[in-house]
Amino acid sequence: MKAHIFVTLKQDVLDPQGSTVQRSLQQMGYANVASVRIGKFMEVELTGTDPENVAAQVDEMCRKLFVNPNIEEYRFDLR
Amino acid sequence: MPRLSVAVVVFPGSNCDYDCFWAASQCPHCRVQYVWHKDANPGRFDVIILPGGFSYGDYLRCGAIARFSPVMQAIVAHAHQGRPLLGICNGFQILCEAGLLPGALYRNNTLTFICEHVYLRVETTASAFTRSCSPQQVLNIPIAHGEGQYFADDATLQQLEERGQVAFRYCSRAGDPAAQFNPNGSRHNIAGILNAAKNVLGMMPHPERAMDARLGSCDGQVIFRSLLDAVSA
């Protein structure tokens, strides 16, 4: 199974990369871009057939390693 | 006089270990040694230092992988036993990732790597690391980091301030901690913090690089002297 994990900065955490990219887009002519937030994508391939077990494991891996809960939040899906 | 044992932990990618070793060695009654990150049983030390650098290439997040190194169990035990633990730059990042200090360090708000001398104001002298400082003393110490922006949520920040856990704040030469003297956007201009028990200090600036006036500043000496004198007292 593959887990697609999306990690983003929490809303109240300043994202200077995002702001910079937004300014670049505006300079390129995209005047209607209100905001840009930049995060991480991880693709994790694991063996396992029970989606509930795999989901629980991926969630644990997120909490332990992939995500810093002080500044990040996450979601994932399995396929 | 009994010799103080000081460990400088080396992770793959640490690069300030030599300077930390040298700085601690300036103390005449200290015995300093390197401890490799894979050593799960490094033995007992009076003082442990986690030096700066790019452990594991800063992969995923700074310090995120180093915090799982085999040596970390012994370091956590050392901290829980109340012995002094100093994390400098990447060492500070590792301490936050390991949960030994609250909050997190991330990308500077300037998005640039900043390598310059800054001024720090000592916010508390109630720790082994700062007890030889005078209250609100201003220190000139270099920073060299791309991910030194300190973040903690409002509740955590309030607790840190109330409990005197803020160790250093970025400030002007005169000691004014205004926003314009904050090099990286850290909340409350925080450059270094202590845990609740005040035996663990994490700081982004490099006191081990401010040990010799010929290199720009010897203001780092007071931190090493505070620490190594406190432990031997």
Dist CA B233 CA B230 (whole Å): 5
Answer for the pair B20, B208: CB distance below 8 angstroms, yes or no.
yes
Question: Would an 8 Å CB–CB cutoff place A24 in contact with chain B?
Answer: no
Which chain B residue has the Cα nearest residue A7? Answer: B60
Chain A nearest CA to B103, separation (Å): 6
| Strand, coil or helix: B116 | strand
Active site amino acids of B: 89, 206, 208
Question: Would an 8 Å CB–CB cutoff place A66 in contact with chain B?
Answer: yes
| pTM exceeds 0.90 for this model | yes
Question: Would an 8 Å CB–CB cutoff place A17 in contact with chain B?
Answer: yes
Question: Would an 8 Å CB–CB cutoff place B111 in contact with chain A?
Answer: yes
Chain A nearest CA to B135, separation (Å): 31
- Residues A8, A9, A10, A13, Cα dihedral to 10°: -170
Q: What is the pLDDT, as a whole number, of residue A35?
A: 95
Contacts of B64 in chain A (CB under 8 A): 65, 68
Chain A nearest CA to B66, separation (Å): 11
What are the residues facing A75 on neighbouring strands? A6
For chains A and B, CB pairs below 8 A equal 34
Nearest to A65 among B64, B109, B111 (CB): B64
Give the range of the structural domain holding residue B204, as residue numbers without chain letter.
4-232
CB atoms A20 and B111 under 8 Å: yes
Q: At residue A55, what are phi and psi to the nearest 5 degrees?
A: -60, -40
CATH number, domain at B39? 3.40.50.880
Q: For residue A13, what are its two tokens?
A: 């955490």
What are the residues facing B118 on neighbouring strands? B141
**Average pLDDT for A35-60:** 96
CB atoms A70 and B64 under 8 Å: no
ipTM of the modeled complex: 0.89
Q: What is the pLDDT, as a whole number, of residue B92?
A: 98
Residue A75 scores a pLDDT above 90 = yes
Q: What is the pLDDT, as a whole number, of residue B4?
A: 93
Give the DSSP H or E segment for A53.
helix A51-61
How far lies B200's CA from each of A4, A8, B31, B197, B228, in Å? Answer: 37, 29, 20, 8, 14
CB contact burial A39-60 (16+ within 10 A = b; e otherwise):
eeebebeeeeeeeeebbeebbe
Domains belonging to chain A, first-starting first, are 2-78 (3.30.1280.10)
Laid out side by side, the sheet with B190-194 consists of B30-36, B4-10, B47-50, B85-88, B200-203, B190-194, B166-171, B114-122, B138-145
Total domains, chain B: 1
**Average pLDDT for A51-71:** 97
Q: What is the pLDDT, as a whole number, of residue B111?
A: 96
Q: What is the pLDDT along chain B (233 residues), one digit of tens a residue?
A: 678 999 999 999 999 999 999 999 999 889 999 999 999 999 999 999 999 999 999 999 999 999 999 999 999 999 999 999 999 999 999 999 999 999 999 999 999 999 999 999 999 999 999 999 999 999 999 999 999 999 999 999 999 999 999 999 999 999 999 999 999 999 999 999 999 999 999 999 999 999 999 999 999 999 999 998 877 66
Q: What is the pLDDT, as a whole number, of residue B1?
A: 65
* DSSP letter string, B12-58: TTB-SHHHHHHHHHTSTTEEEEEEETT-S-----SEEEE--B-GGGG
How far lies B147's CA from each of B109, B186, B197, in Å? Answer: 9, 10, 26
**Average pLDDT for A15-39:** 95
Q: What is the pLDDT, as a whole number, of residue B229?
A: 81
Residue that has been written with the tokens 């109330």 in this structure: B162
Which one, of B180, B103, B184, lies nearest residue B143 by Cα? B184
Dist CA B226 CA A4 (whole Å): 49
Question: Would an 8 Å CB–CB cutoff place B103 in contact with chain A?
Answer: yes
Contacts of B97 in chain A (CB under 8 A): 68
Question: Would an 8 Å CB–CB cutoff place B110 in contact with chain A?
Answer: yes
Chain A nearest CA to B136, separation (Å): 29
